[in-house]
Amino acid sequence: MQKRTLGKSGLEVSALGLGCMGLSFGLGPATEKSEAIKLIRAAVERGVTFFDTAEVYGPFVNEEVVGEALAPFRKDVVIATKFGFQADPNNDGKWTSTNSKPEHIKQVVDASLKRLQTDTIDLLYQHRVDPNTPIEETAGAVKDLIAAGKVRHFGLSEAGAKTIRRAHAVQPVTALQSEYSLFWREPEESVMPTLEELGIGFVPFSPLGKGFLTGKIDASTKFDSSDFRAIVPRFTEENRKANQSIVDLVTRFAEQKNATPAQVALAWLLAQKPWIAPIPGTTKISRLEENLGSATLELTPDDLRSLDEASSAIKIAGERYPETHRKLIDR
């Protein structure tokens, strides 16, 4: 597996990481613990060194699984986790309240370190920008944690360009994690110029459009009640039908390249910038191997230009989040 460096930070990771959320949260029933550990270790065996989790996934369970799975390989891997949410007692305990106050961050990190079975978190992201806490205070708290040796690098997730600049002025930001794929290209305009200017890496989550770009989801697909996509506007039956054209486009390219749609979608992302490291998630080793195959799929400049032009002409139907989640996106 090729390695990439996230911006100017010096943090080296595998070109493709593994997003671990779906093993225990958000995309249907949780994977049985031993199977989840088996999958994560299979990724290590295949050269993946970059693993992504968060306290809210589960909540808590995902960090425990990742910690146990990676304990034997700890010195050889990069573990990223996140802070920034708090259970809301006024909303059935749901994790919809943001909290990035310094004292809260430090409590979260101590708990995450125990669950992850480690002394240091390699990359600590603010999960969502907290409108009630100045980003300078949040960045300062992470700076203190880095000085204490509990954290190595600072990251932001779904943060806008202005917030990134303000945070970076206090504690250099190593990476931004936000959604980016052929299914959602908005970051190209909103944040990527800032990332390039400041030397910050980009870690796209949902690089396969929450599975849509694999071609395995269509208008007839039924989602489990525990699957987040069941409430996502972009994934209504009507919008899936309307958005089929982007899947058809990627599928045509895949046929020409003797590859799968997922491999084309990931190879396209990897070709955008050398400081991009996508984190596709999966619960199946066969899909893991398929995704990793994208790292060796070469798209020519003509391929990339054709994909760019054709995908830019397609208007994607539906919001990417329900209204409750859209409120948490920083601009």
Alpha-carbon span 128 to 168, nearest angstrom: 16
Residue 153 three-state SS: strand
DSSP 54: -
Query: What pLDDT does 90 receive?
Result: 74
**What pLDDT score does 34 carry?**
98
**Tell me, what's the pLDDT at 324?**
77
Query: 57, 125, 180, 321: which one is catalytic?
Result: 57
* Sequence-ordered list of residues with C-beta below 8 angstroms from that of 183, at least 6 positions apart, any chain: 206, 208, 209, 210, 212, 213, 243, 246, 316
What tokens were used for 5? 């460096």
| CATH code given to domain 3-211+273-297 | 3.20.20.100
Asked if omega into 59 is within 30° of 0 (cis), the reply is yes
Q: What confidence score (pLDDT) does residue 276 get?
A: 98
Q: What is residue 30's predicted lDDT score, i.e. its pLDDT?
A: 94
Indicate yes or no: pTM above 0.85.
Answer: yes
pLDDT for 323 equals 82
CB-CB contact of 231 with 317 (8 Å): no
* Whole-number pLDDT of residue 327: 77
Quick check: is 125 catalytic?
no
Sign for the CA dihedral angle at 324, 326, 329, 331 comes to negative
Nearest in space to 199 (alpha carbons), one of 122, 143, 275, 278: 275
Rg of the chain taking only CA atoms, in angstroms: 19
Domain ranges for the chain: 3-211+273-297
Residue numbers of the chain with a pLDDT score lower than 50 = none
Tell me the sheet residues that pair with 155: 125, 175
Q: What residues contact 229, with CB distance under 8 A and at least 6 apart?
A: 27, 210, 211, 223, 235
**257-294 pLDDT per residue, tens:** 999 999 999 999 999 999 999 999 999 999 999 999 99
Q: What is the pLDDT of residues 149-174, one digit of tens each?
A: 999 999 999 999 999 999 999 999 99
